[in-house]
Chains A and B, each alone.
Chain A
């Protein structure tokens, strides 16, 4: 397998995540066509069935839809859908690990919150 794929998580999930990231970044806009299963497979040297699984995941979430005989397209409002999806996973994926790590470093709740606020501040400055 090529390039940015790694063995840290299942390939089809990485494919799905990559497409989602691209949608958020505006690489694929609403109603635009995304690469086909075969193009993805060829590009990353993976089995087409794996690529298809990643795409189907996004179809099931309503982020992509299929135009018969043509290919896969980005749904209306896909960007919002992706954000909602990621917000739902944000707590388990980012917040809980943050708290767990803080606990193992014996940081108090106040110290953690202070750091979070500082980071928000720095982010706004940029």
Chain B
């Protein structure tokens, strides 16, 4: 099962007067697990909606295998966008049953694996005839995950799949995801708030901040560029002189700086009397997107 390249170029989207996505470029190469991380309101769901032709754009283009995704049957067949389920739909409760979602998925996803869906139903202890509004938040997440995994679509997108799941179920989800990936080598894009847990699952991470893509590169490569430098404030300042400082935290004369720079640039720091510590993905994310809110 091979996927084409999904690409966005110069994408702009505004809601009323507010510009939500600014001149965004993104290329999704097949065969990787991508993590899409960003704060609330960064534009993740909007971006994913536009990539899958479920949302409209103001300008720019989104193509799949070179063709625009809009009303493109090939793209619509190959891409599965599994969203968070809503307990309320429009005017009132979501009266649809799980089996309606499963049946619809079977109709629209050419690669739907009914057997796999049944196995997952059993494992998640979900009953087909239950209505969506009767489900707990965790169960709704499980339905989202079930549909995404059983779709066997070449490009599968999950929006907040772990919301509402307890930690044991979340671990199980990452396990299922990796197992599926090992078997099928599908392209996955997982949009999530829960960053550090998922970091080891993502081969590549896309950081979206206020409608712009800050980073789109392999996870470990990204993390390797950042360090915490801490110690006495004057030493830290001296060492950080030639480095890009993202945030600073001070307690008395103890200063910790989150810096960007690796290899040679850190040589001076290594000689000095400061501690150099690695940053994990969550630390990096907060340093890049925290905008100094949290000090």
Contacts and interface: CB of A to CB of B under 8 A. Distances in A.
Direct A–B contact in complex, judged by CB atoms less than 8 Å apart: yes
A42 B273 contact: no
A10 B224 contact: yes
A10 B220 contact: yes
Contacts, number: 54
Contacts of A9: 278
B76 interface: no
Interface of A: 1, 5, 7-12, 38, 41-42, 44-50, 53, 100, 104
B116 interface: no
A11 B175 CA distance: 17
A8 B218 CA distance: 18
A8 B278 contact: yes
8 contacts: A7-B280, A8-B277, A41-B182, A42-B179, A45-B178, A45-B200, A47-B181, A50-B203
Interface in B161-184: 171, 174-175, 178-179, 181-182
Centre residue among A46, A47, A49, A50 by max chain B CB count within 10 A:
A47
Contacts of A100: 273
Contacts of A45: 171, 174-175, 178, 200-201
Contacts of B181: 47-48
Interface in B198-246: 199-203, 219-220, 223-224
B contacts with A: majority SS = helix
B33 interface: yes
Interface of B: 32-33, 171, 174-175, 178-179, 181-182, 196, 199-203, 219-220, 223-224, 273, 277-278, 280
B58 to A, nearest CB: 35
A49 B203 contact: yes
A48 B280 contact: no
B14 to A, nearest CB: 35
A48 B181 CA distance: 9
A42 B176 CA distance: 10
A7 B278 contact: yes
Nearest to A39: B182
B278 A47 contact: no
Nearest to B185: A48
Given A7-B278, A7-B280, A41-B182, A46 B201 contact: yes
Given A1-B200, A7-B278, 6 more contacts: A7-B280, A10-B224, A12-B220, A44-B200, A47-B181, A104-B273
